[in-house]
Structure 1
């Protein structure tokens, strides 16, 4: 170990700490490193999660690693190399493509292990894009966040097969348990979002971008209302991240269906457990494959019936026929982009008896507790580090 006090030093590199699954995982792993007595460093351009990261005891170094400019990427390699030397870094873990190219060069120059996590289903339409994506398969160990992602890596980057391992993304299941969410948090959120007392809540937690399916949600709500629902409120909770044209498009669609009182665009949600505790149904309406699907896992951990688009890694996170029996179901899977099927599933979930709902959500919570806890994810990730550092 190059650190003077003997603790291993791990540097994670990610573009920013605004919001998202990769960012959440970065903070969770940093916390686990500190708790294990290691030193955790994160290089990013900062963001709303920076305070949380620093509260874990991790060190943050601000560098322009979000840039895709080739010259900046090249310069960032030297900047990261300087960080490695200054802090005695023993291992580098990259979580996004542009900074991964810089981190790969820096780690190789310093002759230390390099780890990557393939967090997303990266667009790959030509050979140049394939080469750009390939950096995420160039780690000494390549972590896939689901079996689906691992299969994709094997297909795209067969050279990485022997260095590939699956570590499912994990969530803080204890925090998501509705019994651990104080009433005042739910009351504050209900008031902030303007939800009438007693109105069933259909929750969609996703950043506002077209492939996350907010348009499908709006059409499904229109269908639900058309077929007699008079009370349900749909909450679209997510940050537009600068996509103002898309945000205005959603508002126009809501107005076209005269659903301004039934669909609420509430922006970023900083208290996910409270949001889920308010929800009667959670919907993941993605129209493109999810590499993992954290929102579906968190809904199940929170004892909320969940409906998801049937593509990507969903069969790993939400159990449903025909892969399992009706008695093993943990949620509903519907064809992506099919607003009528989504509306039908929403009606079904809202109409569950108390007994049927308890049985479903109990199975779902048990399912995710066995496979998708943050503790399991962090333990598996630290084991990857240990094996590489022993070489």
Structure 2
């Protein structure tokens, strides 16, 4: 099937920002570069233009809706879409659209696969049923071993259908050699970082589960010079953003912190002395630790979920227990006190680790291989 042109449809709630969105665009680009057709259905978002630039086609649907009637309507619309665009395979990346895909694939007679981007919680029977559609694909891609284990332990699924594929990043974008001194200086000025002061970068959307409150409380106990940049959109959480601003002032960090909604991420990492990723919930395969290491920035992250697979604690960065203020303060102090030789050794180890395990090209090649395997099986069963 690899020699035949594939038409692959990816469907997800939106293309605003996030790991599943990034993966969708990356895989679409890989499909186009390999001579295939890449189609994407979502409710839209700022990444649609990037998707178009990669040569993929986007269709705006209410695929973000959890309303059962909308899900059913989308499934019927999808049957016609599959026939019109001669779709060979569908890749569902979230639960609500996966239900539409599940229903439509049976009527249209095309296979589908799914990706578990997180360890979905579901203690109540109705929630487990809602989540279970993600195990109905011909293959179920898991973004980490942590997620693979979660799927195997919580759902009735044969092991061979679970395919672990670590999230990759574009190493041509996250390449320290491409960051000029001017780019770094431009970022530092935009962030208000004083000259000569070590910069601590805290990337991620502003949300209580991302641990920004804990981070600020830890920074208030750090005695060494630093300036922290809290970098990420509030996504409408204005009250939380205001809370963090007020907390920074109350903790005496008014002249030691700034908040940026976004910016040049590669330059931000390259300019950072240290990166913090203090999530309070387990993530499937967080990108921040990987991106930071690729750019040569030591990183401290929470020892939860897929994060264990993104950092070798003590070698490429540090892992600290969830919500442990003292451990976080201690790790920050250790990082800021590193000698140039210790830092250089950690940077080299981190970059080698990322190149070996988190290259976007590897992720895309493995994903396209899954597509081809499923289509070959489907063709053989006809």
Q: Tell me how far apart the structure 1 counterparts of residues 158 and 241 of structure 2 sit (CA, whole Å).
A: 39
2:282 aligned with 1:306: no
Partner SS for 1:176:
coil
What is the Cα deviation at residue 185 of structure 1?
Answer: 2.2
> Any conservation in 2 of the 1:177–1:303 contact (CA below 8 Å)?
no
- Asked if the contact 2:297–2:347 (Cα under 8 Å) also holds between the matched residues in 1, the reply is yes
Provide the C-alpha distance between the structure 1 equivalents of 2:175 and 2:336, rounded to a whole number of angstroms: 20
In 2, the alpha carbon distance for the partners of 1:97 and 1:255 equals 41
The residue aligned with 1:359 is 345
Q: Hey, what does 2:208 align to over in structure 1?
A: 210
Q: Secondary structure at the match of 2:279?
A: coil
For the residue of structure 2 that corresponds to 1:121, the secondary structure is coil
Partner of 2:95: 97
CA RMSD of aligned residues (A): 1.5
Mean CA deviation greater in 93-102 or 183-192: 183-192
What residue number does 1:8 align with? Answer: 6
* Counterpart mapping for 1:69-218 below 5 A: 69-218=67-216
Deviation digits for residues 49-103 of structure 1 (CA, Å, limit 9, x no counterpart): 1111100000000001011111111111122222211211100001111111111
Q: Residue 320 of structure 2 aligns with which residue? A: 334
Which 4+ runs in 1 deviate beyond 4 A?
none
Where structure 2 has 5 or more consecutive residues not aligned to the other structure, the ranges are 378-382
Q: Tell me if structure 2 keeps the 8 A contact 1:223–1:340.
A: no
Does the 8 Å contact 1:175/1:181 carry over to 2? no
CA distance in 2, matches of 1:91, 1:372: 25
1:246 is matched with which residue? 240
> For residues 109-139 of structure 1, what are the alpha-carbon distances to aligned partners after superposition, in whole Å with 9 as ceiling and x for unaligned?
1111111000012232311111111111111
| Partner of residue 297 from structure 1, selected from 259, 277, 290 | 290
Q: Which residue of 1 aligns with 2:380?
A: none
- Residue 390 of structure 1 is matched in structure 2 by 376
Query: Structure 1 residue aligned with 2:278, among 278, 285, 288?
Result: 285
- Describe the superposition over 1:12-36 as per-residue Cα deviations: whole angstroms up to 9, x where unpaired: 0011111111100000000000000
**Separation (CA, whole Å) in 2 of partners of 1:94 and 1:48:** 20
Task: Quote the residue 1:323 is aligned against.
Answer: none
SS, match of residue 67 in structure 1: coil
Which structure 1 residue ranges, 5 or more long, are not aligned?
A: 321-325
| Residue correspondence of structure 1 range 342-357 to structure 2 within 5 A | 342-357=328-343
SS for the counterpart of 2:282 is coil
| CA–CA separation in structure 2 for the residues paired with 1:263 and 1:158 | 48
Deviation at 1:187, TM superposition (A): 2.2
Cα distance, 1:169 vs structure 2: 0.3
SS in 2 for 1:223: coil
CA–CA distance in 2 between the matches of 1:18 and 1:45? 9
Tell me, yes or no, if the aligned pair for 2:90 and 2:112 is still in contact at 8 Å: yes
